[in-house]
Amino acid sequence: MDDTSRALIGSARSQPVSEAAAGAILTIDLGAIRENYRRLKARLNGVRCAGVLKADGYGLGAAQVAAALAKEGCDIFFVALLGEGIALRKAIGLRPDIFVLNGLPPGSEAEAAAAALCPVINSIAQLKAWREIARSLGRTLPAAIQVDSGMARLGMAPAEVEAVASEAGTFEGIDIRFVMSHLARADEPQVAANEKQRREFERLRKMLPSALASLANSSGIFLGPAYHYDLARPGAALYGVNPTPKELNPMLPVIRLQAKVAQTREVGAGAGIGYGHAHQADGPLRLATISLGYGDGWHRRAASAAWFEGMRLPFIGRVSMDSIILDISALPAGRLGEGDLVELIGPLQSVDDAAGHAGTIGYEILTSLGARFHRRYVGA
């Protein structure tokens, strides 16, 4: 990444929007993230627990989340991309281990080594490149080795594992911190695919030099101790997404999203409301337009109501880029005015609720949350 693009990426979040200027306010409860970490640790019975911070900590701020988790003793973090690792290293200092899940693009090895990052090695080519950079630096370099136990996404295929296992000196200069794999269906505890992947993971890791092992993401932790190994790698559950979708959410909610009323009005029967006149008033209506739209990551099909003092205020007409019109006829006249806040995510509408309406998952709701919000961190 060159300096110009780094400055541009930095600018979206590093120029904070004041609460008064913002159209919407995102409150991130770092205390709840810490409590969720403790809840996962309690299930892990002494097994180590990392924090997954890819996509800027699932949209909530990787640096802030890392600092909160560090206070709970978490000293292993995972990001997806090298650029994320470099930024996180700058933010949190040299001590914690930072693993780069997607591996290193060819030619980026020196940059990764300079930032003291640990690649997750997903192929023989990546292994050779990392060995080469270790040799040229005259140092041993840390890495995790990922094997594909049955997801076909990232990691060495079984044939590659067999090939490296039979070749002398393959891991010279590499300190294998973990052998890891990832579960494709951990959120479906009843399917046989999980146990099949676990057995395949066992088979593959035995071919490699002996090292600590890691398999479970958030949902994987809830599959039981056989899946815990030496290190768990939760992301979503830390951020309040339900890791057990068929059961009550064992995690605390972490975010609250509130949007400001930009304007209110009254319309008469026959008024066409919003783009395409997708709704036509069949009687007098009171409306409030809020300053949040799909430009803030609110999917056009996500949950279609906001909440105010326990009252459901349905969206009316289409979601615009920067605004949504609410039907507030159920509220007394004048009860809601310019600058007042309504809630889009909170106690009455969870991240998972919003996702369900959009036919997506809580992960996508979180990582879509826009750069225009005023971000308020509480519970630090």
In the complex with ligand PLP, the residue whose CB is nearer, 142 or 235, is 235
Choices 19-27, 104-112, 234-242, 268-276; region in contact with ligand PLP by CB under 6 A: 234-242
Smallest distance from ligand PLP to CB 33, Å: 13
Is 52 a residue that touches ligand PLP (CB under 6 A)?
yes
CA distance 150 to 216: 14
Q: Distance between CA 89 and CA 81 in Å, rounded?
A: 12
Local structure of residue 173 (DSSP, 8 states): T
The correct pick among 48, 185, 233, 256 for binding ligand PLP (CB under 6 A) is 233
CB 112 within 8 A of CB 100: yes
For residues 199-218, which are near ligand PLP according to CB under 6 A?
217-218
Shortest separation between residue 375's beta carbon and ligand PLP, angstroms? 21
Tokens 């690649």, located at residue: 119
Distance separating alpha carbons of residues 179 and 176, to the nearest angstrom: 7
- Alpha-carbon radius of gyration of the chain: 24
DSSP 19-38: TTT-SEEEEEEHHHHHHHHH
Cα 146 from Cα 107, distance rounded (Å): 20
Judged by CB under 6 A, the number of residues near ligand PLP is 12
CB of 103 to ligand PLP, least distance (A): 11
Quick one: 26 or 237, whose CB is closer to ligand PLP?
A: 237
DSSP 8-state code for residue 209: P
Per annotation, catalytic residue among 37, 54, 227, 363: 54
Share of the chain residues as helix, strand and coil, in percent rounded to the nearest 5: 35, 25, 45
Query: Which one from 71, 196, 206, 275 is the annotated catalytic residue?
Result: 275
Contact between 182 and ligand PLP by CB under 6 A: the answer reads yes
- Shortest distance, position 216 Cβ to ligand PLP, whole Å: 8
Nearer of residues 101 and 326 to ligand PLP, judged by Cβ: 101
Does position 53 interact with ligand PLP (CB under 6 A)? The reply is no
For residues 85 and 98, the answer to whether their CB atoms sit within 8 Å is yes
| CA 203/CA 280 separation, integer angstroms | 63
Which range touches ligand PLP (CB under 6 A), out of 161-169, 230-238, 275-283, 338-346? 230-238
Calpha distance 137→143 (Å, rounded): 15
Q: In the window 98-117, what residues touch ligand PLP (CB under 6 A)?
A: 101
Answer for the pair 211, 176: CB distance below 8 angstroms, yes or no.
yes
The distance of closest approach from Cβ of residue 228 to ligand PLP in the complex, given in angstroms and rounded to an integer, is 13
User: Cβ 220 to ligand PLP, closest distance in Å?
Assistant: 8
- Catalytic, 41? Answer no
CA distance 299 to 71: 34
- The least CB distance from residue 328 to ligand PLP, in Å, is 36
171 vs 124, 151, 211, 251, 278, CA distance in Å?
11, 24, 12, 40, 62
Catalytic, 260? Answer no
Q: Which structure tokens are listed for 78?
A: 């995972």
Residue selected from 23, 103, 235, 293 as contacting ligand PLP according to rule CB under 6 A: 235
Would you state the torsion angle of the CA atoms of residues 116, 118, 122, 124, taken in this order, to the nearest 10 degrees?
60
Q: Does 66 bind ligand PLP (CB under 6 A)?
A: no
* Identified binder of ligand PLP from the candidate list 117, 129, 208, 236, rule CB under 6 A: 236
Which lies closer to ligand PLP via its Cβ, residue 77 or residue 130? 77
198 binds ligand PLP (CB under 6 A): no
Which residues sit at the interface with ligand PLP, rule CB under 6 A? 52, 54, 101, 182, 217-219, 233-237
Catalytic center residues: 54, 275
